[in-house]
Amino acid sequence: MATRTRKSAKERKAEIVNATLRLAGEIGPDRMTTELLAKEIGISQPGIFRHFPTKGAIWEAVGQHIGKLLQAKMALTKKRGARPVDGLREFVIGHLTFFEATPAIPAILFSRELHADNEKLRTFFAGLIASRHQHFSKMITAEIDGGRVKKTLDADDAAFLVLALIQGLAMRWSLNARCFDLPAEGARLLDLLLDGFKA
């Protein structure tokens, strides 16, 4: 008779977070319940709440997990000696590749859970986006200073346009049943945008 291995609290929490991401990608964040989550993992619903006191706490852990995954993904795209514009391109494609591999993220970003039901989660993602905006703005400023981008271009506005490209494209991909290559479409549109920035 096979014995069931008891998981540590840390392992169980990670399992709950990963299952939440998986279910959010399959059925949408707004339809994800702790009952479905418990069934997916193979534990009781009270077992979920032993590790997370509320459903909101689960989503907050999911947000933190996404932030760590994205940070790790972006660290891999940094190239020493590359021009800032190349770094910007790598970051954008890296984000879109990550979204394609983790389709729950666009759904979570535009869900009621994020915008209406969970202030902590909304604040976390707003901070994450603000951090990306600042990073993109610095890269664009370096291109302006190098004379490769129009001197009249406002780096903050340009960074907002790049962010809007990522967010809008992720939403279009999600609404169209993920039927196109997200990173490839992102690369194409980003090149059009960057061409408009050139001096």
CB 136 within 8 A of CB 91: yes
DSSP code of residue 198: B
> What digits encode the pLDDT tens for the residues 106-164?
888 878 766 777 888 888 889 989 999 999 999 999 999 999 999 999 999 999 999 99
Give yes or no for residue 3 having a pLDDT over 70: no
Residue-range domains of the chain with CATH? 58-197 (1.10.357.10)
Cβ partners under 8 Å of residue 127, min gap 6: none
Mean pLDDT across the chain: 88
Give yes or no for residue 2 having a pLDDT over 50: no
* Secondary structure of residue 199 in the 3-state scheme: coil
> What digits encode the pLDDT tens for the residues 70-122?
887 766 656 555 789 998 999 999 999 999 998 888 888 878 766 777 888 88
Cβ partners under 8 Å of residue 39, min gap 6: none
- Cα(139)–Cα(157) distance, rounded to whole angstroms? 13
Cβ partners under 8 Å of residue 19, min gap 6: 37, 40, 41
Specify the pTM: 0.84
